[in-house]
């Protein structure tokens, strides 16, 4: 009897121990407006889900960090503490679309046994989470499990990685139109890069992002086993490389490891983010990445000067009515400087060809760079130099001090075309080194921004967008793309789309011409891009000769500031049209764009403070559906609260500069 009783007690204790081990812990966190609820379950898996006003937005989705030693941080997680915090503050933003950013969220920090944890934040417009570890020495990250599950097979806007450099996956320009398709129809032979949008109906859109990406590979998305959701995929760590890709300008990994990162054991990992909108226009003025990025590491960034640049490559140095042979030479760049000076444009860019191939320390014999830089100084125009990432990574210790001393103000750095740990870490190293010499950097041929432009404010430009260079060779539907990216790609941060075409074509007349490119859509569509698209370092892509022939339009373009004090989303529908307003020093700028569908919009000017205003307006001409260069310039009187009907031609636009009448 005693043995039976002892056995029963042991069995009960074992059963209790098993039940205790299997017990889950649940946590709920709401946004401060009460509309969004995050639910976290720590059990066999660490799982998160999100509701908006009771509607399931993100279905239960597992997360974990898989280490090289076999540990899986998140599976069977033992939560040792849970701390919540309420934040309601405002911070100053530098070189951004607004001066003040409201930062309002509730935070849950789960600290777990095995020296790791997860931070969750719930904002009024989305949710973010990130892992952190507190381990000694270096750790190997074999993989990260990140899932974004949905309750239905919704429509998504998917930017596929398609142009593999040297035919190798994870080597891409990060430029793609959006494939609008059901989640379950995700391509089996590709991956998607971020941001990616999901349309959940009822005016609800979800945009998947990442923020504060540093010393870690960027996240791609693939279809997961639910066929109604996505999972994170990451480029493995590169072990061996060779030169290849486009014109042999890319560093192509030929061997990759079976892990994605080697990193410090005590650190925070990138934020995994979903932004949730209840109307499309909300996405035109979102600050999520800015709020999640690390603070500036430059003590005094007053020397960083955003602005516009006269750019040579897109227009193929095709200036005319001059008495010298146009091309990559000193007289041509002096001509660009004269144009920039006359129009108060801050910079010119010397794109590919200014240096000896493969050696940035040596200047092409056709270029007297010091003469060009000095000539620019006399005219109050500064010089930015183009370079490949491979050359910058190899030579920055030599050339940054060399060209900074000469008076060059920065570098446009191209052909990264990867976002594995090595490249991501390099973007921070370059920005830091450039800042030491008061050099700005414009990153091209690169993944989307994730907040480095806040951490290093000398990073003033990012491509990661299928921009206007494609008009030189492509026939794709750019007008639809141009009214999709403000709601999707621009959520990640600034984008160097390079607008400003003065040769404009309707759909029937458009054809790609590399040496004398034109744009799809109207002249006013191009003007509106300077207001709608966020770009602290903004291009004038066409050539000076044409701009001088089109001085009215040039005057409008060069009058639009590249950073603003305030941004107001006016109206929009992803893929259809977009309209927003920006304010700098009390002057307002309004832009509206449409796809190939003509449409009438009503703009509400309630955003204007009280008073009477004069608006200089550029609108599509009555014949812009036949000749895309047709436009009408007029002056209108406007006051706060006015509602103005505007007409947009196919591929059209509308732009205005609005000043208070004193």
Active site residue 202: no
The active-site residue, picked from 212, 469, 534, 542, is 469
Tokens of 508: 């029937």
Residues in the chain: 662
Phi–psi pair at 17, nearest 5 degrees: -65, -40
Please name the residue that has the structure tokens 């008073």. Answer: 611
Cα–Cα nearest to 417, from 50, 631, 164, 72:
164
Cα–Cα nearest to 468, from 440, 505, 509:
505
CA distance 635 to 487: 30
Residue 402 three-state SS:
helix
CA count, 13 A, side-chain hemisphere, 43:
16
The active-site residue, picked from 414, 419, 442, 620, is 414
Tokens of 465: 């967008």
92 to 268, 298, 325: CA distances (angstroms)? 23, 14, 48
Contact assessment for residue 323 and residue 332, using Cβ atoms and an 8 Å cutoff = no
CA distance 617 to 527: 11
- Report whether the peptide linkage leading into residue 195 is cis, meaning its omega lies within 30 degrees of zero: yes
CA distance 108 to 443: 34
Active site residue 225: no
| 286-287-292-297 Cα dihedral, nearest 10 degrees | 150
Tokens of 460: 């003033």
Paired sense of beta strands 440-443 and 410-414, if any: parallel
Catalytic residues: 414, 469
């Amino acid at each position: 009897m005693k043995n039976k009783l002892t056995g029963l007690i042991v069995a009960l204790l074992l059963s209790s121990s098993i039940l205790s081990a299997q017990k889950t812990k649940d946590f709920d966190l709401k946004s401060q407006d009460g509309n969004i609820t995050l639910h976290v379950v720590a059990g066999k898996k660490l799982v998160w889900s999100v509701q908006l006003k009771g509607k399931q937005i993100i279905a239960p989705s597992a997360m974990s960090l898989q280490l090289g030693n076999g540990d899986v941080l998140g599976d069977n997680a033992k939560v040792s503490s849970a701390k919540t915090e309420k934040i309601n503050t405002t911070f100053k933003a530098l070189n951004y679309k607004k001066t003040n950013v409201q930062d309002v969220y509730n935070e849950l920090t789960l600290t777990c046994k095995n020296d790791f944890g997860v931070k969750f934040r719930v904002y009024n417009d989305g949710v973010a989470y990130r892992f952190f570890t507190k381990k000694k020495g270096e750790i190997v990250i074999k993989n990260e499990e990140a899932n974004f599950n949905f309750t239905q097979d919704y429509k998504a806007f998917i930017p596929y990685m398609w142009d593999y450099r040297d035919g190798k996956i994870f080597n891409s320009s990060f430029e793609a139109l959006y494939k609008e398709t059901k989640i379950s129809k995700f391509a089996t032979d590709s991956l998607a890069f971020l941001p990616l949008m999901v349309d959940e109906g009822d005016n609800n859109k979800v945009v998947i992002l990442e923020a504060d990406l540093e010393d870690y590979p960027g996240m791609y998305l693939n279809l997961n086993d639910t066929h109604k959701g996505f999972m994170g995929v990451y480029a493995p760590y590169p072990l061996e490389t060779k030169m290849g890709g486009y014109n042999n300008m890319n560093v192509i990994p030929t061997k990759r490891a079976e892990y994605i990162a080697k990193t410090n054991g005590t650190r925070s990992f990138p934020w995994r983010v979903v932004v949730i909108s209840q109307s499309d226009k909300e996405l035109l003025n979102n600050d999520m990445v800015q709020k999640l990025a690390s603070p500036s590491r430059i003590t005094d960034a007053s020397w960083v000067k955003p602005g516009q640049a006269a750019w040579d490559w897109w227009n193929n140095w095709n200036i005319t009515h001059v008495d010298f042979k146009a091309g990559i030479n000193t007289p041509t760049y002096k001509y660009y400087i004269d144009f920039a000076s006359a129009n108060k444009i801050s910079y010119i860019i010397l794109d590919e060809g200014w240096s000896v191939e493969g050696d940035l320390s040596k200047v092409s014999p056709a270029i007297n760079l010091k003469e060009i830089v000095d000539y620019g100084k006399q005219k109050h125009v500064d010089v930015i130099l183009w370079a490949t990432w491979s050359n910058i990574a190899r030579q920055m210790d030599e050339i940054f001090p060399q060209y900074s001393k000469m008076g060059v103000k920065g570098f446009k750095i191209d052909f990264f075309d990867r976002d594995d740990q090595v490249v991501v870490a390099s973007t921070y190293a370059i920005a830091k080194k450039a800042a030491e010499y008061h050099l700005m950097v414009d990153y091209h041929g690169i993944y989307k921004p994730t907040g480095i432009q806040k951490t290093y404010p000398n990073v003033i430009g990012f491509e990661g967008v299928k921009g206007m260079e494609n008009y030189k060779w492509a026939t794709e539907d750019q007008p639809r793309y141009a009214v999709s990216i403000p709601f999707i790609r621009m959520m990640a941060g600034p984008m160097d789309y390079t607008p400003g075409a003065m040769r404009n074509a309707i759909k029937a007349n458009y054809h790609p011409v590399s040496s004398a490119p034109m744009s799809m859509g109207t002249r006013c569509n191009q003007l509106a891009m300077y207001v709608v698209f966020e770009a602290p370092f903004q291009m004038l892509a066409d050539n000076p000769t044409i701009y001088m022939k089109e001085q009215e339009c040039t005057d409008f373009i060069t009058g639009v500031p590249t950073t603003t004090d305030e941004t107001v989303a006016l109206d929009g529908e992803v893929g259809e049209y977009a309209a927003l307003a920006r304010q700098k020093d009390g002057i307002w700028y309004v832009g509206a764009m449409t796809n190939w569908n003509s449409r009438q919009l009503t703009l509400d000017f309630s955003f204007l403070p009280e008073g009477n205003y004069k608006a200089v307006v550029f609108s599509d001409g009555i014949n812009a559906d036949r000749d895309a260069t047709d436009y009408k310039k007029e002056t209108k009187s406007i006051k706060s609260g006015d509602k103005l009907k505007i007409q947009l031609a196919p591929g059209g636009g509308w732009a205005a500069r609005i000043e208070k009448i004193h």
